[in-house]
Amino acid sequence: MEKLQYISQGFTIEDQELNIKKALDNGIKWIQVRWKNAPENDFIKLCEISKKLCSDNQTICIINDHVHIAKDLDADGVHLGLKDISIEIARHVLGENKIIGGTANTISDVLQRMNEPCDYIGLGPLRFTSTKEQLSPILDFEEYEKIIWDLKEKSLEIPKIFAIGGVVLSDIELLRSIGIYGAAVSRQITNQPSIIKKFKTAMQ
């Protein structure tokens, strides 16, 4: 599984498409299409565009929240928040071969996600981010470390955990040393798509 995810950003369909294209041009191999509060028809259109762009670039395309859009477009999967439909229902709709990721904020969330089970866990936010409304309580590096330690104490296999929420390049070395698998990044890649190569190097 790829270790770097780009969460799409932009206030208009044109902005979103341009940012996704720039990320693809700079070597991203996993895009999560996310556009909160967009009109449904516009979001569906963006998902259609994104799916084609990703297919043309042999890149994973997952849809944030909208399981049935992912199903209709044959996207590679979905990412679900804690208040979205259950992993179980999403798996029933999408089938066994699609990627399903789930958000977590606490150790109990992580254990829930592991039991459901999802393919990867987006754990965060690491720090404040303006790209997400209704932000969960902010974690810091110590909280990430504590969660990984708790899993080891329970003799559980560490799942594929992606740090989310305000992650920047300089965080990667410490996150990886803690035992975090990867990162989902929005703002820094949007603002500087060429940084993708440095992220990938840091994650090797």
> For the segment 94-122, what is each residue's pLDDT rounded down to a tens digit?
999 999 999 999 999 999 999 999 999 99
pLDDT grade for 128, boundaries at 50, 70 and 90: confident
Please give the sequence-ordered ranges of beta strands (E in DSSP) within 89-159, or none if there are none: 99-104, 120-123
What average pLDDT is seen over the chain? 95
pTM of the prediction? 0.95
How high is the pLDDT of residue 132? 55
Which CATH number goes with the domain that contains 126?
A: 3.20.20.70
Q: Are 126 and 164 in contact (CB under 8 A)?
A: yes
pLDDT tens readout for residues 35-86 = 999 999 999 999 999 999 999 999 999 999 999 999 999 999 999 999 899 9
Distances (CA, A) of 78 to 51, 90, 161, 198: 12, 8, 16, 26
How high is the pLDDT of residue 130? 64
Alpha-carbon span 78 to 183, nearest angstrom: 16
pLDDT tens readout for residues 134-180 = 667 899 999 999 999 999 999 999 999 999 999 999 999 999 999 99
Distances (CA, A) of 48 to 44, 62, 137, 138: 6, 11, 33, 33
Which structural domain range is residue 117 located in?
A: 4-203
How high is the pLDDT of residue 136? 75
For the chain, the domain total comes to 1
